[in-house]
Amino acid sequence: MGIDQKLLPPDLAVHIGGLKLKNPVMTASGTFGYGEEYAPYLDLNQLGAIVVKGLSLEPRMGNPPPRIMETPCGMLNAVGLQNIGVHAFIRDKLPFLRQFDTPVIANIYAESVDEFPMLAGILSEAPGVHALEINISCPNVKKGGIAFGTDPKMAADVTRRVKTETDLPVIVKLTPNVTDIAMIAQSVEAAGADAVSLINTITGMSVNVETRTPHLKNITGGLSGPAIKPVALRMVWQVVNRVSIPVIGLGGIMTADDALEYLIVGARAVQVGTANFINPRAIPEIVEGIEIYLQKHKMTHIQELIGSLKTG
Amino acid sequence: MQHGKFVMMGSVESNREVQDGHFLMSVRLPPAFATPLPGQFILSHLKNRGDILLGRPFSVSGFHRHAHHVQIEILYRVAGQGTRLFARLRAGDGLDILGPLGRPFEIPTGIKNVILVSGGIGLAPIRYLLTSIRAMESERALRTDVYMGAKTVDELLEPEAIRSLCDELQVCTDDCSMGHPGLVTEPLEKALKSYSLKDTLVCACGPLGMVRRLSEILTQHPLACQVSLEERMACGVGACLGCAVAVRGENGEKQYQRVCREGPVFNLRDILWE
């Protein structure tokens, strides 16, 4: 052995479909804008990937305020997929993101099954988009969104039609608001999905007892943050056991230990969402924490950690 | 690529209740903290609290630059769980501070009179705007008339300090306990026509009812008006789209803008009342 293994930093690279990530920690859609909002606070090159705010064919105004409410160890949101539309994203936001050595994953949302392949086609032509994440799990929109994600046949149909329009890796983002999330995961895997990401937010609600009105104008919203982590982790573990495509875990990751839990149960990569709001440098700090953990446990590659759960 | 902005660690110097349920906190920060413009805000996180996740946005109420540190003043009202915890902070406690953030008040050239209108804790940004106007007096002299309202005299914040900083102060209380008995917009409405349209700017912050009434009385005599708005917020940097407010876009269409980026200071005429 010419090289002392202990002196080399551990290899954090993972593959999702055909996409290589330098580390397994990416942003969760809707929590990092289009990247530029956080660029003053951290080097975007440190991210495993940037998953941008959900894009639709046409701009969307979003829901009326109030849109967010803090709840114990979490927050509810009902933004309603406000976005500038896919064309403005490609024209105004993507050139900025191309400066970085970080893959860009476009999260796509549509009101009808027909619009998904159109969005996939448009984004596949755009230089600087490295993968697609299909949002069939937004709880805060009236049309589409979660409706596609709760029906295994529709979820598979959307996946199949997106796959025919793109050569990019396709990740399907799943909703936890179902009886058996692993069944939906199997269904999109059979339809050709390259990976699944889970979980999107858990539908929730909060009421002001003085006024007896909901805290959110939309009445219900999506719960995120540490409050949902045990539920999300359980679902990731269940899905890992039922599919062979990579699983991207998310839900309440605030620290490196949280991310490690997901990786240990078998997630190939993780996404960090709400934590960005609390600490703009959460992701680089989590990446560093994972590296330190691997060194401490004498692992040279993150693959040694992924799926290493001991259940006795 | 610029990524030189950091969340800064501040240290509480003092945090005292100035009126019923209203606190004035002074926080010491490193000198690298940029000087806030009047109307800008900070997002402040309590340290080591797993239960309270999100930062709380506070208007900057005062700012002092010293040789080796800066001092930021935050005037706030205890309104919920988060601010209740802020009220418990003691000298020496740590806070994470992100900022200064957002779009400030902007006084266009040609403006000679500034009318400052505050309702309740809406005084928070108005106080810093007033001291900033005074501080630049040698370069630009502006007449400042302050209309300051509160529910009751016990919630009237620092009226004597404000009086010493402005040309004229009109105090109003809803319960008739001090000054004009009634809403702050009433004496303003009476005086409105005495202000020239071409060189007067109204800067306001207060409850939505006050801002809405302001927009009504200003249709009679359309003085330019900038207003600082408040909305629940998560990230403070424009990413989460949580702090939306309905405004008229460039082409007159309705759109939601972010209090944290396009605001907190908006042109009153752009605000849509839903």
Q: Do A37 and B238 touch (CB under 8 A)?
A: yes
Q: Do A61 and B274 touch (CB under 8 A)?
A: no
pLDDT attached to residue B273: 87
Beta sheet of B62-65, edge-to-edge order? B56-59, B41-46, B94-101, B8-19, B22-29, B70-77, B62-65
List, for chain B, all residue ranges whose pLDDT scores fall below the cut of 70. Answer: 1-4
Position A185 in a domain: yes
Question: How many structural domains compose chain A?
Answer: 1
Q: Where in the sequence is the domain holding A40, given as residue range(s)? A: 5-304
Tell me the per-residue pLDDT of A45-71, one tens digit each, with 9 for 90 and over.
Answer: 999 999 999 999 999 999 999 999 999
Comparing CA positions, the residue from B197, B227, B209 lying closest to residue B273 is B209
Q: What CATH topology corresponds to B105-228? A: Rossmann fold (3.40.50)
> Which residues in B lie closer than 8 A to residue A67 (C-beta atoms)?
232, 241-244
Position A218 in a domain: yes
CB B191 within 8 A of CB B181: no
Nearest to B242 among A44, A67, A226 (CB): A67
Q: Could you give the residue range(s) of every CATH 3.40.50.80 domain in chain B? A: 105-228
Tell me the per-residue pLDDT of A166-181, one tens digit each, with 9 for 90 and over.
Answer: 999 999 999 999 999 9
- Determine which helix (DSSP H) or strand (DSSP E) holds A198, and give its type and residue range: strand A195-198
Position A309 in a domain: no
Looking up tokens 């806070």, which residue turns up?
A: B95
pLDDT attached to residue A3: 54
Tell me the per-residue pLDDT of B76-131, one tens digit each, with 9 for 90 and over.
Answer: 999 988 999 999 999 999 999 999 999 999 999 999 999 999 999 999 999 999 99
Pick the CATH number of B230-274 from 2.10.240.10, 3.30.499.10, 3.40.720.10, 1.10.10.60: 2.10.240.10
CA–CA gap between residue A197 and residue A183 (Å, rounded): 14
Position A297 in a domain: yes
Nearest residue in B to A255, CA atom: B50
Q: Domain B8-101: which CATH class? A: mainly beta
Position A311 in a domain: no
pLDDT attached to residue B1: 42
Q: How many CB pairs under 8 A join A and B?
A: 121
Q: Do A73 and B240 touch (CB under 8 A)?
A: no
The domain that holds A236 is classified in CATH as 3.20.20.70
Q: Do B51 and A43 touch (CB under 8 A)?
A: no
Q: Could you give the residue range(s) of every CATH 2.10.240.10 domain in chain B? A: 230-274
CA–CA gap between residue A147 and residue A208 (Å, rounded): 29
Nearest residue in B to A282, CA atom: B7
Interface of B with A in 230-259 (CB under 8 A): 231-246, 254-256
Q: Could you give the residue range(s) of every CATH 2.40.30.10 domain in chain B? A: 8-101
Question: pTM for this one?
Answer: 0.93
pLDDT attached to residue A5: 52
